[in-house]
């Protein structure tokens, strides 16, 4: 009886330690709840947007593109990410031209756009990204896309008015 009681007493402490370990891992972001995935990330991103935490939201939307590029949530994440990018790009392109929002993030979005074209919804995605933005963003895209095998077989054609992109199409010739 004595051995049985001693063995039985260990179970609650093992369970307690296991739960504590899981709780710490979740709090530190080292583990995900089952069933999370892209939908969980999208919900977190939307919540961050609602709270005005745009940098955190943008990072979450980028994570969806990296980890779940073919998910339905990726489509919605694109819209949010582009809106945040456009706001930051416009805000910083003259004030801080070496800001990542001007120097690095456009290239990430160009790559994301290439994936959208490959999935068949590139026309709309290109219009969302470029329309209303400065002509220099389109020129930067052309320089980025030149000679890349992933952009072979199609090109983005844009028209501007007074330095602002007005019309965007994908030419698949």
Query: In terms of Cα–Cα distance, which of 27, 85, 86, 28 is closest to 55?
Result: 85
pLDDT in tens, the chain (173 residues): 454 444 444 444 444 444 334 444 334 343 344 347 999 999 999 999 999 999 999 999 999 999 999 999 999 999 999 999 999 999 999 999 999 999 999 999 999 999 999 888 899 999 999 999 999 999 999 999 998 999 988 999 999 999 999 999 999 87
CA distances from 70 to 38, 60, 102, 164 (A): 10, 16, 27, 31
Coil, strand or helix at 166: strand
CA atoms of 133 and 122, how far apart (whole Å)? 17
- Helices and strands (H and E) in the chain: how many: 8, 2
Query: In terms of Cα–Cα distance, which of 169, 173, 110 is closest to 145?
Result: 110
**Which pLDDT value is given to residue 121?**
87
**Which pLDDT value is given to residue 162?**
96
**Which pLDDT value is given to residue 173?**
73
**Which pLDDT value is given to residue 56?**
98
**Which pLDDT value is given to residue 35?**
43
CA atoms of 10 and 146, how far apart (whole Å)? 65
CB 62 within 8 A of CB 81: yes
Query: In terms of Cα–Cα distance, which of 46, 80, 141, 127 is closest to 88?
Result: 80
């Amino acid at each position: 009886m004595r051995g049985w009681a001693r063995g039985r007493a260990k179970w609650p402490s093992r369970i307690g330690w296991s739960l504590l370990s899981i709780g710490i891992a979740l709090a530190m972001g080292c583990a995900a709840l089952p069933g999370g995935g892209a939908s969980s990330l999208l919900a977190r991103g939307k919540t961050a947007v609602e709270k005005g935490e745009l940098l955190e939201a943008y990072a979450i939307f980028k994570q969806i593109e990296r980890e779940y590029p073919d998910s339905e949530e990726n489509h919605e994440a694109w819209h949010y990410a582009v809106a945040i990018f456009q706001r930051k790009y416009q805000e910083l392109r003259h004030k801080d031209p070496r800001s990542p929002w001007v120097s690095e993030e456009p290239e990430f979005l160009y790559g994301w756009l290439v994936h959208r074209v490959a999935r068949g919804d590139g026309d709309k995605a290109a219009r969302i990204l470029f329309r209303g933005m400065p002509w220099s963003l389109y020129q930067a895209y052309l320089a980025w896309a030149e000679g890349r095998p992933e952009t072979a077989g199609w090109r983005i054609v844009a028209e501007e008015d007074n330095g602002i992109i007005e019309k965007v199409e994908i030419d698949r010739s």
